[in-house]
Amino acid sequence: MGDTAKIAARSKKLFIKTYGCQMNVYDSGRMADVLAPLGFSSTDRPDDADMVILNTCHIREKASEKVFSDLGRLRVLKTGRVTAGRDMIIAVAGCVAQAEGAEIMARAPFVDIVLGPQTYHRLPEMVARAARSRDEAGMPQSRRGVLDTEFPAEPKFDHLPAPKADGPTAFLSVQEGCDKFCTFCVVPYTRGSEYSRPAADILREARGLVAGGAREITLLGQNVNAYHGAGPEAAVSWNLGRLIRELAEIDGLARIRYTTSHPRDMDDDLIAAHRDVPQLMPFLHLPVQSGSDKILAAMNRGHGRDDYRRIVYKLKEVRPDMALSSDFITGYPGETDRDFDDTLELVNEIGFVQSFSFKYSPRPGTPAAILKPQVADEVKAARLHILQQVLDAQLRHFNTSCVGRTFDVLLTGRGRNPGQLVGRSPYLQAVHVLADPAYVGAIVSLTVVSVEAYSLGAVWADSRASRPRTQAAHA
């Protein structure tokens, strides 16, 4: 019996902790897919797991230290399991693993596997190697860890099983990597250069997800609107606008979203798709990072504040109900009060319904980490506080403006309270309503009646709540 067959001989539990972006959420699901043939099924408790994967993100401040903190807790758990005669495999995946794999192995020698985001299709082989090392060492504590952070020549997607829908919403990766080299960002170094999947593969997976119950698909990529995958006609590549139009032809696919976008890649065809494709939701995450031309140039963003404004106005011209979210960094090296005021001015002009904002924190190996002058931490914190007050006020204003409006809401699962379901508005807001669980997966008309901190309360816009699903849920 081979190593893989031995591993699959009994049912085992897999716990994955996912940090960071939606791309990591997608990757975690695919790692679970490739480990399923080895007998691993998911658990939401690490103390019940035979294998734990930390799928890491390197974007946020002190990302690696958070990982090492979690590893410290897992070491205690693993030691207890070994003492009881039951081993645990610990793996670190994702961008921190890619950037700091050797350091992880040195600081946490009890970690069995360290793998980069381009290698998780090889997880079964790594698990087998880790088990073989344990057998050769004679005891789990002595086995040699497996480190795989190479960028393989072959796309990992060619070696992955088809994704399965897990509810009415699904993620679908269409593009990976980044060629932009923003001076603050590690993604080009941890995810590699831009790669776009062939359109035929994406369409096939999308049809499978819809057949499995997905009604909304979010297209993922580090620079998703840089998509330029090969079309069915070998000599012709498709852009994202063309891909979205083709996806919209899939019977049963009611909603399409995409993230994360870069302003440099918002071409006119993609903007026109927001006018032409009713399935494409009127909500777009379009990171700007700063409203200062000087800081944008220092960041190597490749666009200015006026470029960003023109894109937004074009979007709202073709889709007047378009709403935007964005990312912001305060205290980038060299940022002055005037630069920060430029950011506040742009925020007040555009208006954002959601946002992600952070103090600048140096990432080792990035150009910005050695730029001078670095902004004092207390200044960064003060600016962030001011910015977040403005952004939070815009979020509250938008949500409050929704009261009395009727939206089509995709109901995705049970809500916080008994008898309640939660769903997604076209603007990605969480919407709660009293409804029968049979309506999960339905798109229904709801009228917003209340606003909570990060969600909306709603009632049915008509009498369908009392009608059987077979008559009403998909009306």
Q: 154: which DSSP letter?
A: S
pLDDT of residue 244: 98
- pLDDT, one tens digit per residue, over 140-160 is 444 568 988 877 656 777 767
Residue 254 shares a structural domain with residue 232: yes
Q: Which candidate, 326, 206, 247, 415, places its Cα nearest to that of 424? A: 415
- pLDDT, one tens digit per residue, over 95-111 is 888 888 888 999 999 99
Indicate the range of 52-66, 135-149, 242-256 predicted with least confidence. Answer: 135-149
Q: 299: which DSSP letter?
A: T
Q: Which candidate, 70, 82, 68, 95, places its Cα nearest to that of 15? A: 70
Quick check: is 351 in a domain? no
Examine the fold and report which residue of 121, 148, 175 is the final residue of a domain before the chain moves on.
148
pLDDT of residue 202: 96
Residue 181 shares a structural domain with residue 123: no
Quick check: is 59 in a domain? yes
Residue 110 shares a structural domain with residue 244: no
pLDDT of residue 235: 73
Quick check: is 434 in a domain? yes
The pLDDT confidence band at residue 135, using thresholds 50, 70 and 90, is low
pLDDT of residue 473: 40
- pLDDT, one tens digit per residue, over 73-95 is 999 999 887 766 678 899 999 88
Residues in the chain: 475
> Could you tell me if 363 and 306 are in contact, meaning their C-beta atoms sit under 8 angstroms apart?
no
pLDDT of residue 120: 86
The CATH number for 457's domain is 2.40.50.140
Residue 80 shares a structural domain with residue 103: yes
Report percent pLDDT > 70 for the chain: 90
- pLDDT, one tens digit per residue, over 269-324 is 999 999 999 999 999 999 999 999 999 999 999 999 999 999 999 999 999 999 99
Q: What is the pTM of this model?
A: 0.84
Quick check: is 104 in a domain? yes
Q: Which domain holds residue 266?
A: 162-281
What is d(CA 441, CA 413) in angstroms, rounded to the nearest whole number? 8
Examine the fold and report which residue of 281, 301, 318 is the final residue of a domain before the chain moves on.
281
Quick check: is 354 in a domain? no
What is d(CA 218, CA 258) in angstroms, rounded to the nearest whole number? 5
SS (H, E, C) 309-327: HHHHHHHHHHCCCCEEEEE
The CATH number for 95's domain is 3.40.50.12160
Examine the fold and report which residue of 116, 148, 180 is the final residue of a domain before the chain moves on.
148
pLDDT of residue 313: 97
Residue 139 shares a structural domain with residue 202: no
Residue 181 shares a structural domain with residue 91: no
pLDDT of residue 466: 42
Residue 274 shares a structural domain with residue 410: no
Beta strands in 367-428 (DSSP E): 406-414, 420-424
> Does residue 1 surpass a pLDDT of 50?
no
- pLDDT, one tens digit per residue, over 398-433 is 999 999 999 999 999 999 889 999 999 999 999 999
pLDDT of residue 462: 79
- pLDDT, one tens digit per residue, over 333-364 is 999 999 999 999 999 999 999 999 999 998 87
Residue 110 shares a structural domain with residue 171: no
Summarize the confidence of residues 388-392 as an average pLDDT: 97
pLDDT of residue 163: 82
The pLDDT confidence band at residue 474, using thresholds 50, 70 and 90, is very low
Quick check: is 48 in a domain? yes
Residue 27 shares a structural domain with residue 143: yes
The total of structural domains in the chain comes to: 3
What is d(CA 282, CA 318) in angstroms, rounded to the nearest whole number? 10
pLDDT of residue 467: 46
- pLDDT, one tens digit per residue, over 362-373 is 887 889 999 999
Residue 192 shares a structural domain with residue 118: no
The CATH number for 240's domain is 3.30.750.210
> Could you tell me if 342 and 385 are in contact, meaning their C-beta atoms sit under 8 angstroms apart?
no
Residue 12 shares a structural domain with residue 141: yes
> Could you tell me if 458 and 432 are in contact, meaning their C-beta atoms sit under 8 angstroms apart?
yes
Q: Which candidate, 253, 182, 169, 256, places its Cα nearest to that of 222? A: 182
> Does residue 469 surpass a pLDDT of 50?
no
Quick check: is 43 in a domain? yes
Quick check: is 235 in a domain? yes
Residue 173 shares a structural domain with residue 143: no
